[in-house]
Amino acid sequence: MQAFGRNQISVPRSGRALQQVSGFGFQNFSKKISSVTYVTYTGCSVMAYIHGKLGIKVTTNIHQAYRRTSMKTIKRRDLLKMFSFIAVFGGIAGGAAYAFVKSLFPKVLYEPPKRFKVGAVYDYSDGPNFVAEHRMFVIKEGDKYHSLSSICTHLGCNVTFIKLSEPRTVTVRGKEIEEKWEFHCACHGSKFYGDGTPYTGPAPSPLPAYAMAISPDDQQLVIDKSREVDSNYRLTIQV
Amino acid sequence: MGIWNRFSQKVVRGWNPVSALHETEAIDRIFWAHWVPTDDDVTRESTSATYSFYLGTVLAVLFSILCLTGLMQMLHYVPSVDRAYWSVKDLQFIIPFGWFIRGLHRTSAYLMVIFAFLHMSRTFYTSAFKKGRKSNTNGWINWLTGILLLVLTPAMAYTGYILPWDQVGYWGATIGTNIMKSFPVIGDGMRQFVIGGTELSQDFLTRIYAVHVVVLPLLMTLFISYHFWRNKKDGGMACDDRMQQDEVARDRTSGSDKSGIDTVDTPPERPLMFMKRLLWVSLATAAFAVLLALLISFPLSAPANPVMAENPAKAPWFLLWMQELVASTTVTIGQYRINGGFVGGVVIPGLLLLSLALCPFFDNSPPEATGVWFHPSRLRQNIIFTAIALAIILLIFFTYFCRGPNWVFYWPWETWPHVH
Ligand code: FES
């Protein structure tokens, strides 16, 4: 049985008798043969299933097939249908998607405030003091105070402060400074000078310094993490 | 007749094939076998153990073990920053055989990372990713799906690594999310999106938990299924083109006409035999994972301490090569310094993945090379691939053994100085 061909599918009207049946293929069931075709007529539609190696399934409504072959342009009604379909269901789906994404950005963060008190002035001794709770160093030099973040600018590990056995002079951005301590990061070996400037390792930028103040109510030191200042910033407090 | 045969005849199959040819009907007759490809679907070489080493099967089995042990762990684990660590500790020390479940989950996860890599290498060395000449062979689609799975696998392992909320997990997460942050322009937003705020906290753990137990496994299942299906549709392990020619030759000589009677002298590969082989591979994989789980212990590190990283703080072994890269690829261009996190954590791995993905489109070796191990025409490709793979493996070993406190180089036999 080798009656096989798709070239001449007739296009009958619904209810009319079929005139020609030459889209009808029925090859054989051998394992070696690649395709078996059945054509079934149900009312006005032709359904052709081509099974086998190709794995293709074709379902055709005969009127649609007719229309597609005879008209090259899209009907206005079809276009409007498509647009309204997209508008309605796309709108609904898009709105839902927007809501889902939006829900992942909370409106309120229950996180520590950016401005916080870090204790009384006399709690601090000369040199860097690590305030673990806020991951900050409060650095006291006589009556001058400033603060440095302890978050490594490379990938966010915590830098530790290393006291040098004797002060040394280093050149930072063309300026000579004397440093008594340094900051080292354990994660990938970045090292920072006493003023927070990186000199070795992968850290790309200096440890940020933040503005400080004295709180008017209880005279505690205040760090304002929302205000970054440059490394020369000092808060002077005369006691 | 052995017990297995009697049991399988009564319960599993309920049908007894009388001849080899009859047995090819197994897939229609037996529910358990209906998804197995036949000789008609795939080339015979596809079922050969020395061609594919059944690496994909091994991976699928490992994934099932992970789902099962994962489910068992979900019954004990509490995804809360205060309790996560202690619930894992209970799992390890108090819950009967909790250590085993956790160990099996870990070993399977690590094995899965290793086997995914091996599977990808196998596909590369046999150039199974090539687009076949036949219209229905689409090796490249499965290659791209495979790359997706290759990314999903370590992503699963990494998110799982964070969940115990211990020191290594916490700092691993810190570094990972900061790599994301180092992305220009959208980095900050991306990090906020992932961690649900500006600091690692409960929101982040909840998200990672959901991603680890729902999102990634679902995606995994989806793509694994597609990977299987696609492979069957493509006619097996991409040796189709070459086999096709053999087949044509064979058909011509064997006098097979298209009359429905198969006169080819060799019997078709029997699906039941293939099923049996799959079963053996699965059992062997499971046994191997269990054995490793019994032999290796996976200690928890200290509970997460947000103000003090371990020194050295090392990533899980399969990410160590990236950790070494992020530590050494900060570059200065003019007055700009580009964070190594971006170069080593995003650009280099991204480029590697991209070049992998482009392989099928730029490999112009002849069709005869498809499905052949180390075909001479692909010498150049194979050398480059091997060099990159070796570099990654060497970097992992180097970082594992030679990086001490403060990321300083030490020989493996040197003792590290004591730090804080
Ligand atoms: S996080 Fe400090 S050097 Fe990488």
Residue owning the nearest CA to atom 4 of ligand 1: A188
In a domain, B85, yes or no: yes
In a domain, B155, yes or no: yes
Residue owning the nearest CA to atom 3 of ligand 1: A188
Stated pTM of the model: 0.80
Banded model confidence at residue B249, pLDDT cuts 50, 70, 90: low
Helix (H, G, I), strand (E, B) or coil at B11: helix
Give the one of A31, A184, A185 whose C-beta lies nearest to B40's C-beta.
A31
Non-local (6+) Cβ contacts of B318 within 8 A are B110, B113, B154, B157, B396
Residue numbers in A near B330 (CB within 8 A)? 154, 201-204
Helix axes B320-328, B167-181, angle to 10 degrees: 50
Contact across the interface for B233 and A55, Cβ inside 8 Å? yes
Total residues belonging to chain A: 239
Mean pLDDT along residues B248-276: 54
B261 at interface of A, judged by CB pairs closer than 8 A: yes
B247 at interface of A, judged by CB pairs closer than 8 A: no
ipTM: 0.75
Contact across the interface for B327 and A28, Cβ inside 8 Å? no
Residue A146 Cβ inside 6 Å of ligand 1? The answer reads no
CATH code for position B214: 1.20.810.10
Residue numbers in B near A150 (CB within 8 A)? 307
In a domain, B145, yes or no: yes
Contact across the interface for B24 and A31, Cβ inside 8 Å? yes
Contact across the interface for A109 and B259, Cβ inside 8 Å? no
Contact across the interface for A156 and B192, Cβ inside 8 Å? no
Non-local (6+) Cβ contacts of B59 within 8 A are B112, B115, B116, B119, B224
Please give the helix or strand (H or E) that residue A184 lies within, else none: strand A175-185
Query: Is A124:A138 a contact under the CB 8 Å cutoff?
Result: yes
More confident residue, B337 or B114: B114
In a domain, B256, yes or no: no
One DSSP character per residue, A110-179 reads: ----SEEEEEEGGGPPSEEEEEGGGTEEEEEETTEEEEEE-B-TTT--BEEEEEEEEEEEEEETTEEEEE
| Distance separating alpha carbons of residues B365 and B286, to the nearest angstrom | 38
Query: Is A153:A131 a contact under the CB 8 Å cutoff?
Result: no
**pLDDT score of B136:** 59
CA angle B181, B186, B187 (to 5 degrees): 0
Q: What is the pLDDT of residues B105-132, one digit of tens each?
A: 999 999 999 999 999 999 999 888 876 6
Name residue, tokens 């030099």: A141
- Which domains are assigned to chain A? 3-63 (no CATH), 115-236 (2.102.10.10)
Residue A231 Cβ inside 6 Å of ligand 1? The answer reads no
CA-wise closest residue to B262 among A155, A29, A118, A83: A29
In a domain, B252, yes or no: no
Identify the closest residue of chain A to B176 by CA–CA distance.
A155
Q: Which of A30, A133, A155, A199 would best serve as a mutation to test chain B binding (most B beta carbons within 10 A)?
A: A155
Residue owning the nearest CA to atom 1 of ligand 1: A155
pLDDT > 90: what percent of chain B?
46
Count of structural domains within chain B: 1
B217 at interface of A, judged by CB pairs closer than 8 A: no
Please give the helix or strand (H or E) that residue B248 lies within, else none: helix B240-254
Q: Which atom of ligand 1 is nearest to the CA of A185?
A: 2
Q: What is the pLDDT of residues A206-229, one digit of tens each?
A: 999 999 999 888 888 899 988 888
**pLDDT score of A40:** 39
Q: What is the pLDDT of residues A184-202, one digit of tens each?
A: 888 888 899 888 888 888 8
B179 at interface of A, judged by CB pairs closer than 8 A: yes
Residue A184 Cβ inside 6 Å of ligand 1? The answer reads no
In a domain, B401, yes or no: no
Identify the closest residue of chain A to B251 by CA–CA distance.
A32
Beta-strand runs (E) in B33-77: none
Among A42-51, B37-46, B247-256, the range scoring the smallest mean pLDDT is A42-51
Contact across the interface for B313 and A157, Cβ inside 8 Å? yes
Identify the closest residue of chain A to B310 by CA–CA distance.
A186
Q: What is the pLDDT of residues A3-21, one digit of tens each?
A: 444 444 444 444 433 333 3
Q: What is the pLDDT of residues B222-247, one digit of tens each?
A: 999 999 988 888 777 765 555 555 55
Mean pLDDT along residues B397-401: 92
In a domain, B329, yes or no: no
Q: Which atom of ligand 1 is nearest to the CA of A190?
A: 3
Segment A63-70 long-range contacts (CB within 8 Å, at least 24 positions apart)? A63/A11, A63/A14, A65/A9, A65/A11, A66/A11
Residue numbers in B near A53 (CB within 8 A)? 40, 136
Range of the domain at B86: 48-240+279-316
CA angle B222, B225, B226 (to 5 degrees): 85
One DSSP character per residue, B327-352 reads: HH--EEETTEEE-HHHIIIIIHHHHH
**10 Å Cβ neighbour count for B348?**
17
| Distance separating alpha carbons of residues B139 and B136, to the nearest angstrom | 9
Non-local (6+) Cβ contacts of B258 within 8 A are A27, A28, A30, A32, A33
**pLDDT score of A46:** 42
Contacts across the A-B interface (CB distance below 8 Å): 124
| Distance separating alpha carbons of residues B250 and B272, to the nearest angstrom | 24
| Distance separating alpha carbons of residues A105 and B195, to the nearest angstrom | 9
Among B59-73, B264-278, B380-394, the range scoring the smallest mean pLDDT is B264-278
In a domain, B395, yes or no: no
**pLDDT score of A14:** 43
| Distance separating alpha carbons of residues A75 and A64, to the nearest angstrom | 13
CA B257 from centre of chain: 44
CA Rg, chain A, in Å? 39
